[in-house]
Structure 1
C-alpha cells in the first residue's frame, strides 16, 4: 500500500499550531477585541486551566494518535521484509527510548542541572505511549481484543482515579483536583524537584497509562485504513462515525470523570480520539480518496519533519535567520499589526527551512 499523504498532511496541520500558528491566530483575534467570535477563536489557542477542553488541548494527543495510525503499516512492512518479532520489538523499544532521550534534551539535559532536570516531557509521553501501544498491538492479533484492552485501560484508570484519593489530600478536596488526585500525588512524590510543577506534572507518570489507549486507538484506525476489502469512501465514513461516537462517549463520561488534559482522563482520551478520527476522516477522504493533494503540500512539508522543527524551535536555531531576513519589513508594519507580522514571518522562516530539507530529501526519523 502506498504512503498515505493524508497522514503527513494531518501531522503538519497539527504541528503548525506549535510552529507559530496558535500565536498567529491569537494575534489576529487581538485585532478584534469586541468580537465574540474572534474572542472565542483566540481563547481556543490556550490550554484549559484544569478541567475542560480547548483546541490547544487536542494538538498533543492528535500527534500521538497519528503516530499510532502509522504503526500497522510499518509493522506489515517489516514483516514483509522478513523481520522477526524479536527484531521488531527491539526496534519499537529503541524508538520509544530515543523519544524519551530527545525529551530530556528538550528539557535541558545538556545544561547538566541534573538535580532539577524535568524527567517527563511531551516527547517522552509520545515515546512511552506509542511504545507500549505498539508492543500490545503486535502481541494481540484480534482487533476485538485490542479494543477490549483500550476499554480496560480507560475504565481501570477511571476507577483508580475515582476511588483512590491522594494520601495527603486535604479534607473536602475534589478527587480529580491537583490536591486530591492520586496521579498528581504520584508525580510529586516520585518526581519531586524533577516535576514540571511542585504539585503535578502534565506529562507525569501515572497519567501516561491512558496515553497508551490514545496510541492504540490510532493503531485501530490505521488497521481500518489498511483493510483493502473496504473502499476509500467506506473507510472515510466509518472513521467519521467512529469519531462522532467517541466524541459523544467523551462528553457523557465527562459528567463523572471530567475531561482533563493534565490528568489525561478517560473522558479526555475519548473526546480527543473523536476529534482525531474526524480530522483523519476528512484528510483521508480529501487527499487519498478524492486525490485533491496540491493544497496539502504546505502541511506535508511540515509533517515530514515534525520532530526536526519541534527541536529546532526549542534550541532557537532559526531565530537569527528570521530577524535578519524579516526585521526590516516588520519595522515598516503599523504597530497594531506588528505581532501578526512577527508571527507570520516566524512561520515563513520555519516553513522555508523545512522546504529546503524536503527538497533535499532530508528527514529526521526516530
Structure 2
C-alpha cells in the first residue's frame, strides 16, 4: 500500500474518520472472536432475514466509500489521468481481495508447513510491493492489471490448487462499488445520481421478486433458491463461498444494490460539501437518517431486510443508520468541537485498508504455525498458534465462554491499535 506522510487529521472531516474508525473496529471484533462457537448474538450476522449490529458494518463502509469519493476528488472531470487513477485503484483493491482468497491455496513443490509459510509471506510481500510500488501512472495501471489478470488465469487455467478458489469477496465488492460511484460522480449530476440509485433499488426488487428462478420455480428470497444464488452458481461454479458452495454473500447480482449504498454515500458527500451552515447539514443528515430507517423498515414488509442478498430495504435501513451515526458525530465533533476523545477512532479510521487486508492475512499465518497441544500427551497432536493463544492464554481466565471469546477479539483489537497508533504517531497513512 502506498505510504504517505503528513498530519493524519489535517483537512479531513473528523466525524467521517471517526465513523470509519468505529466501523473498522467493529469489523475487527466480529471477524476475530476467540471461539466461533461462543459469540454473543449482536456480534454475529443474522441467520438470514433480519439484522444485527454486525450486519451494518459492511454497508457503512461502502456508504463511506461514496462520501470519500466526493471529498477526495478536487476536480470533477473524467479525463485520461482521472480514468487511469480510478481504474488502477479498482484493480489494486480487487487484487488484494483476490489474493486473500488465494493465500491459503498456495502450494509449492510439496513444501512443509514452515517452508511453505515462508514462501507465502514472501509472495505476499512481492504482491504488495508490485501493486504499490512507485512508478509512473501508466506503469502502475499495467502492473495492477497484470496482478489482477494472473489470479484469474490461475483460477480458470486448469491449475488444480486454484480450481476451487473463491473469487467474490468483501474487498472485491468495495472495488466494484468504488469504480461505479467514481465514474457516476465524475459524469453525472446529483439529481441523476439520486435517480439512478432509486432505479437500482426498484429494479433489484423487481428482479428478485418477479422473475422465476430457472430450475426452481417461482421468484423467492430464500437461502440458496433465489435468483441471485442461481446466477452465482451459473457464472462462478466452484469459485463461491466455501460455506455454501452454491451461492455467495458477495455475489454478482447482489452487487447491484450495493452500488446503491455507494450512491447514498455520494449524495451525502454532496450535502457535506454544499454551501450550507453546519447546523443545516446536521439537520439534513438527521432527517435523511430517519427517512432511511423508516423507509427500510416499511419496505421490509414486502422485501425483507437481508444482508446476504443486500436487499433494497437493507440498503435504505443501513444507510439510514449510517446517516444517523454520522449526524451525531458531525454535531458533536465538527459543529460543537468536542475532539478530546476521538484519537482511538481516528487511529483506525485513517488506515482502514491496512486492517482490511492484513486482518485477513494474520489469522491465516497464525493458523499455519503449529505448536504442541498442551492438553494431550500425543506428541504429534499439534494446533495452530492462534488456537493455542486463545485456549491456553486467554480462555482460562474466564468462566463464561462467550465472555472469553469476546476477550480474544478485544485482545486482537488492542494489538491492532498499537500497530496503527505507531503509524499515526509517525504521520503515516497507507493509501490504495
- Residues 1:312 and 2:358 are matched in the alignment: yes
Q: Say if 2:102 and 2:162, in contact at 8 Å, map to a contact too.
A: no
User: Contact 2:56–2:318 at 8 Å: present in 1 too?
Assistant: yes
Aligned residue for 1:116, secondary structure, equals: coil
How many angstroms apart in 1 are the aligned matches of 2:247 and 2:388? 40
What secondary structure is seen at the aligned counterpart in 2 of 1:295?
coil
In 1, are the aligned partners of 2:100 and 2:357 still within 8 Å (CA)? yes
CA distances 1:217-270 after superposition (whole Å, capped 9, x unpaired) = 101101101112x11111011111111101111111111111111111111111
TM-score, normalisation: structure 2:
0.73
**2:292–2:317 CA contact under 8 A, matched in 1:** yes
Between 1:336-345 and 1:246-255, the stretch displaced more is 336-345
Distance 1:52 1:334, change over 3 A: closer
1:125 aligns with 2:173: yes
CA change 1:331–1:192 in 2 (3 A) is closer
1:107 is matched with which residue?
101
Give aligned pairs, total. Answer: 346
Structure 1 residue 363 displacement after superposition: 2.1
In the alignment, is residue 188 of structure 1 matched against residue 228 of structure 2? no
Cross-structure match for 1:19: 28
Cα contact 1:50–1:260 (8 A) shared by 2: yes
Rounded Cα–Cα distance in structure 2 between residues aligned with 1:140 and 1:52: 34
Cross-structure match for 1:9:
18
Equivalent residue, structure 2, for 1:38: none
Aligned mates of 2:292, 2:252 — CA distance in 1: 25
| Aligned-pair CA distance for 1:6 | 1.2
Residues 322 and 345 in structure 1, CA contact (< 8 A), matched pair in contact too: no
Match of 2:69 in 1: 71
- Structure whose CA Rg is larger: 2
- Are 1:176 and 2:221 an aligned pair? yes
Query: Cα deviation per residue 1:307-332 (whole Å; 9 max; x = unaligned)?
Result: 11222222117969999999998588
SS, match of residue 431 in structure 2: coil
Quick one: higher RCO (CA 8 Å, sep 6+), 1 or 2? 2
Counterpart of 1:163? 210
Partner of residue 281, structure 2: 235
Provide the C-alpha distance between the structure 1 equivalents of 2:32 and 2:81, rounded to a whole number of angstroms.
42
Judged with a 3 Å threshold, the aligned counterparts in structure 2 of structure 1 residues 52 and 340 are, in CA distance, closer, same or farther, namely: closer
What is the TM-score with the length of structure 1 in the denominator?
0.86
Give unpaired runs (5+ residues) of structure 1: 31-41
Does 1:153 pair with 2:200? yes
Q: List per-residue Cα deviations over 1:185-233 (Å, max 9, x = no partner).
A: 00011110001122210000111111111101101101101112x1111
Unaligned runs of 5+ in 2: 1-9, 107-160, 370-384
Structure 1 or 2: more helix by fraction: 1
2:44 maps to 46
